[in-house]
A and B are shown apart, each in its own frame.
Chain A
Amino acid sequence: MRDFDFIRPATISDAIAAAAGPGSAYLAGGTNLLDLMKGGITSPERIVDITRLPELNRIETLDDGGLRIGALVRNADLAHDPAFAKAYPAVAEALLSGASAQLRNAATVGGNLLQRTRCSYFYDTASACNRREPGSGCSALGGENRLHAILGWSDACIATHPSDFCVPLVALDTVVEIEGKEGRRHVTLEEFHRLPGDTPQRETMLEPGELIVAVRLPAEAASFAAHARYLKVRERTSYAFAVVSAAAALVVDRGKIRGARLALGGVAAKPWRARSAEAALLGADADEASFVRAADAALADASPSGDNAFKIELARRIVVRALMAAKAGTPERMPALPASPFSSIPGVRHDA
């Protein structure tokens, strides 16, 4: 690992000033950054440790009924906050389906948004990767790519965004609060992550030196609390990234869908909001036929980027199953295996 300067600012403005120069990186939980530094994928010259900024550590209810979550709140603390888990159960379930208990104790809200893809060619510095080294090519194209993107990919990059947390967040219209030299600004999470296009190295809307200070859930996000689930297919039961995942949230009134939110994980370089599927659900009967139509709409533009055509059908099925689970209702208690499709869901076929 290359030598670096280590700065521990006392205020947000000091942090932003310290990180203004090129080669700077913010350190929070460090669970992804240290991994990247050990592998030589990232080599910052200056680390700005933001873990001692108390104003980033709060969860606050806003005057408009929304919720503001500080960027430094640890994943475990947020998921186990009883009021939070009750109001936003799919978000808590997604958090608890990600990583391990040790990592969730360290990893933060802001860091989760900014974690890098787990594409193995991005991690292997001997491979070509346009995301790591612009213009070098993409070894994943034609390589081992069965877990790569099926939506929004380009010939420059077929990597996926690995976050679980971001999937229900994007479904619930989360807004990212960003501070930089020019002051504070807000970007929707849906806009925050970029699709690769010709510039996969530009992963988010953050400008150099900018800092995520919080994310905000609008008041409406809590209206789905009774019918909100996150489901995640993994290659082992626990402690694995999603092959495909879905967050589904419904408002159901006398059998009709009055509100619908749907997003997919593991399918694209960003958490994938399925707005066409939401439009298909609004006003429809809350039944399997409607959910199948919504799944078809959600995957209408999908195409394999390699040996991963199976993910398109898998994503359709996980969408249907997540919507069935959401319709059945949020469980009273967090399932023993959060987000596992192998937990029984009342009224859902085992082979769905």
Chain B
Amino acid sequence: MTTLPISLTVNGYRHELEVDTRVTLLDLLRERLELSGTKKGCDRGQCGACTVLVDGKRINSCLALAVSHDGAEVLTIEGVAHGEELHPVQAAFIAHDGFQCGFCTPGQIMSTLGLIAEGQAGDDPERIREGLSGNICRCAAYGGIVEAVLEARQHLAGTGRRTAA
């Protein structure tokens, strides 16, 4: 087994780790750091359940080798809320029933954070659906998901304006 030392900042905490070169970022999060909120669905980049933000961008953590991300900043679902206070995206998913079984939800929420930060979709439901097509929901809660994304985006845009004023 070949191992290498890496440094990774996850949800604001820095970790110095010795990792097997074969370990994916997904398995590192779940098995080594015990952050099992990030889900292992297909493990082949087809379902989006493993979505996390790496240096601010959403990626499939199942297709990322941990050793290739030495020095990266990772945000997982565990780092989204502020203590007991839900992030507006999380609150909107609950308000709009944006899930049923909940397995895909961490990936949906991380992907939504990426989508909103990218700023391409605006308030167009068709662009939101296209922008989230990498996240499969087998309960088909898509209607609620799109409503949640719309509300969260408007809420965050409003908050931004108030902060600026």
Contact = CB atoms under 8 A, between A and B. Distances in A.
A51 B68 CA distance: 8
Interface string A218-244: 000000000000000000011100000
Contacts of B87: none
A35 B45 contact: yes
A105 interface: yes
Given A38-B44, A99-B134, A30 B21 contact: no
Interface stretch (A1-9, A155-163, A311-319, A322-330): A1-9
B63 A105 contact: no
B68 A239 contact: no
A3 B2 contact: yes
B67 A6 contact: yes
Interface string A98-109: 011111011000
B137 to A, nearest CB: 13
Interface stretch (B96-104, B112-120, B149-157): B112-120
B106 interface: no
Contacts of A309: none
Nearest to B43: A38
A237 B2 CA distance: 42
Interface in A1-55: 1, 3-6, 8, 27, 30-31, 34-35, 38, 47, 49, 51
Contacts of B131: 101
Interface in A80-113: 80, 99-103, 105-106
Contact of B64 (A80, A106, A237, A239): A106
Contacts of A3: 1-2, 21-22
Interface of B: 1-2, 4, 21-22, 24, 43-45, 48, 51, 57-60, 62-65, 67-68, 70, 111, 114-115, 118, 120, 124, 126-127, 129-135
Given A102-B51, A238-B129, 10 more contacts: A3-B2, A5-B2, A30-B68, A34-B45, A47-B65, A49-B65, A80-B120, A101-B131, A105-B58, A337-B126
20 contacts: A3-B22, A6-B21, A27-B68, A30-B65, A30-B68, A35-B63, A38-B44, A47-B65, A49-B65, A49-B67, A80-B118, A100-B48, A100-B133, A100-B135, A101-B115, A101-B132, A102-B48, A105-B114, A239-B133, A336-B130
